[in-house]
Amino acid sequence: MSGETISINGPDGSFAGYLAKPKSGKGPGVVVIQEIFGVNEVIRDRCDWLASEGFVALAPDLFWRIEPGIDITDKTEAEWKKAFELFGKFDVEKGIVDIAATIRTLRPMTTGKVGAVGYCLGGQLAYLTACHTDSDASVGYYGVNIQNRLADASGIKKPLILHIAGKDEFVPAEAQKEIVAGLKGNSHVTIYQYPEDDHAFARPGGQHYNKQSADEANARSLAFFKKHLG
């Protein structure tokens, strides 16, 4: 299955997005939120996978304000350096504005409901998407810095899953405890913990990829989307 590049119009300008549709052409929508490597092959593959499961998936280029078209891997030191530079320059609040615009763009192409899934930086953004947009269901994988945004959780009105890696090098144990404690009173939030896994355990080909845990998390996410978006 191959997708296409489309233009997304936001309040601050237009930016690209990778769109993948199911064979039927229609279905519920899912916004796929990038890691710090841009809309790369891993993210495009995730869109294609969701399309194969009956969803219309759209991954927006959230680094467009810094440098449009970032498409790098996690394989070289130079690419990691570039990725962290982009992460440092990235404006999270503007990212949420762009995700809201992506949801608006995607919704007319779907059967009505639109969710979001994000990884790493995108995991934090998926959490904030649940807090600040009209996403119908959101999923965050190993989101960074969520512990610093727990006050935003009052805005969560629709279902949210967070997948947390127990040995996440970017989310220390203390931060994980804060996240769990800070969200435990919210009936919309489900947290799954993977005690022996490190950051990006669900990124195929990544250093910490664990197929068993990735398959488990992905199955949970898929069932969640089919329940809440179908």
Q: Classify each residue of 49-62 as buried b or exposed e, where b means 16 or more C-beta atoms within 10 Å of its C-beta.
A: bbbeebbbbbbbbb
Could you list the pLDDT tens digit for every one of the 230 residues in the chain? 579 999 999 999 999 999 999 999 999 999 999 999 999 999 999 999 999 999 999 999 999 999 999 999 999 999 999 999 999 999 999 999 999 999 999 999 999 999 999 999 999 999 999 999 999 999 999 999 999 999 999 999 999 999 999 999 999 999 999 999 999 999 999 999 999 999 999 999 999 999 999 999 999 999 999 999 98
Structural domain spans, the chain: 4-229
Superfamily for the 4-229 domain: Alpha/Beta hydrolase fold, catalytic domain (3.40.50.1820)
**pTM exceeds 0.95:** yes
Sheet holding 160-165, edge to edge: 4-10, 13-20, 56-60, 29-33, 114-119, 138-141, 160-165, 189-194
The pLDDT score that the predictor gives to residue 1 is 53
Q: What is the dihedral of CA 60, 61, 62, 66, to 10 degrees?
A: -160
pLDDT single digits (tens) 117-126:
999 999 999 9
Place of tokens 């680094």: 63
Catalytic residues: 168, 199
> Terminal CA-to-CA distance of the chain, rounded, Å?
21
